[in-house]
Amino acid sequence: MLPFSRVAIIGLGLIGSSLARAVRLHMPTVRLVGYDGSAAVRARVDELDLLDDIADTPGAAVIDADLVVLCVPVGQMGAAIEEMRADLPKGAIVSDVGSVKASVAALAGLIPEGVHFIPAHPVAGTEKSGPDAGFAELFHQRWCILTPLPGTDETAIERLAEFWKRLDSKVETMDAQHHDLVLAVTSHLPHLIAYSIVGTASDLEGVTRSEVIKYSAGGFRDFTRIAASDPQMWRDVFLANKDAVLEILQRFTEDLTALQRAIRWGDGDTLFNLFTRTRDIRRTIIDAGQDTAAPDFGRDHR
* pLDDT tens, position by position, 265-293: 999 999 999 888 888 777 776 676 665 55
User: For a pLDDT cut of 70, what percent of the chain falls above it?
Assistant: 89
Among 175-179, 184-188, 201-205, 232-236, which stretch is predicted with the lowest mean pLDDT?
201-205
Mean residue pLDDT of the chain comes to: 88
Strands (E), the chain: 6-10, 31-35, 53-54, 67-70, 93-96, 116-117, 120-122, 143-146, 170-173
Q: Is the pLDDT of residue 159 over 50?
A: yes
Domain parsing of the chain, residue ranges: 6-174, 178-292
- Identify the pLDDT of residue 206: 61
- Identify the pLDDT of residue 123: 92
- Identify the pLDDT of residue 215: 65
pLDDT tens sequence across 88-139: 999 999 999 999 999 999 999 999 999 999 999 999 887 788 999 999 999 9
- Identify the pLDDT of residue 279: 81
- Identify the pLDDT of residue 203: 72
Q: Is the pTM of this model over 0.95?
A: no
- Identify the pLDDT of residue 289: 67
Q: What does the CA dihedral 75, 80, 85, 91 come to, rounded to 10 degrees?
A: -80
Q: What does the CA dihedral 186, 191, 197, 198 come to, rounded to 10 degrees?
A: 150
Q: Is the pLDDT of residue 60 over 50?
A: yes
φ, ψ of residue 205 to 5 degrees: the values are: -70, -30
For the domain spanning 178-292, the CATH number is 1.10.3660.10
- Identify the pLDDT of residue 213: 66
Rounded CA separation 101/274 (Å): 32
Average pLDDT over residues 59-81: 95
- Identify the pLDDT of residue 210: 67
- Provide the 8-state DSSP code for 252: H
* Correct CATH for 6-174 of 2.10.109.10, 3.40.640.10, 3.40.50.720, 3.40.50.2020: 3.40.50.720
- Identify the pLDDT of residue 262: 92
Q: At 92, which amino acid appears?
A: A
Q: Is the pLDDT of residue 186 over 90?
A: no
Q: Is the pLDDT of residue 295 over 50?
A: no
Q: At 216, which amino acid appears?
A: S
φ, ψ of residue 251 to 5 degrees: the values are: -65, -40
Buried b / exposed e along 70-104 (16+ C-beta atoms within 10 A): bbbbbbbbeebbebbbebbeeebbbbbbbbbbbbb
Average pLDDT over residues 3-20: 96
Q: Is the pLDDT of residue 59 over 60?
A: yes
- Identify the pLDDT of residue 214: 66
